Amino acid sequence: MIKTLLPLAIEAATEAGKIILKYYRKDNITSKKIDGSPLTLADQESHLKICELLEKTDYKIVSEEGDDHYIDENIYWLVDPLDGTKDYLAANDEFTVNIALIKDCKPILGVVYAPALNELYAGIVGLEAWQLKHEQKTTLNKIKKSKDTCMAVSRFHNLADTDIFAKTNNISKVVSMGSALKYARIALGEIDVYPRLVGSSEWDTAAGQAVLEAAGGYLLDWHTKMPLRYGKSNRRNGRMIAFRVPYGRNDFILQNYKPGLL
């Protein structure tokens, strides 16, 4: 059943990507979102196309650009039509379309598509994950630990605490990257760990978490050390950490920050 939904999610992501590229590198800001980030025509039209295609299923859709961010459903689509709007406006190519299927507060299917890079990542938790790049499909398999641990940091959302994490864990390489592309590249094995020490929205992480978990990796709440869960009334995540296999929960030292939103 779930496997039959993945092609539709991929179609929705790729069609949305075509719309985004139509506006890419052009001035198309229309207004600002509630959090102050810019809203573009690409955001809006991508949202409409994704909804048009996913409405073929029996599941409701929660999209960042939609009106209903909280619904009382056991299974639903969770969508970010354009993740990394600042990356999109900076024209660094590191923005994505994120589509996830949530069941029992957990992402079970995910698609992360970076249209400007022609990279698509897809996964079903418990089955498989793979990358499609320039028409070449690569299964995301377990890769041995890196000799020099590589950590991702956000280009636009970072804290000094990240430097503390890097020093505490002897991180030798740091890569700046935008959007949910970070989770996909961890699943691919190019990056080992990503500590997210500022808040994020659920639609930012769900698809990436599904791909990462399908590849054997983890996206954990910083304080509980448990996989991130979805359906919070405000749709906000606290601090978290993502890492790939064969790394485990005990491979990274997490500073004893006080529990809270961040």
pTM greater than the 0.85 cutoff: yes
Nearest to 80 by CA among 152, 3, 183: 183
> Hey, what amino acid is at 122?
A
Is 2-139's fold the same as 150-251's? no
Render the chain in DSSP notation, one character per residue. -HHHHHHHHHHHHHHHHHHHHHHTTS--EEEE-TTS-EEEHHHHHHHHHHHHHHTTSSSEEEETTSS------SEEEEEEEEE-HHHHHHT-S--EEEEEEEETTEEEEEEEEETTTTEEEEEETTTEEEEEETTEEEE----PPPSS-EEEEESS---HHHHHHHHHTT--EEEEE-TTHHHHHHHHTS--EEEE-S-EEHHHHHHHHHHHHHTT-EEEETTT-SB-----TT-EE-SEEEE-TT--GGGS----PPPS--
Answer whether 190's CB lies under 8 Å from 249's CB. Answer: no
**Cα separation of 145 and 185, whole Å?**
15
pLDDT digits (tens, 9 = 90+) for 23-39: 999 877 777 666 667 78
Task: Give, in words, the CATH class of 150-251.
Answer: alpha beta
pLDDT of residue 159: 76
Q: Is the pLDDT of residue 259 over 70?
A: no
233 vs 262 pLDDT, higher one: 233
**Cα separation of 16 and 81, whole Å?**
7
pLDDT digits (tens, 9 = 90+) for 99-136: 999 999 999 999 999 999 999 999 999 999 999 998 89
Report how far Cα 174 is from the mean position of its chain's Cα atoms. Answer: 19
Q: Where are the domains of the chain?
A: 2-139, 150-251
pLDDT of residue 258: 52
CATH code assigned to 2-139: 3.30.540.10
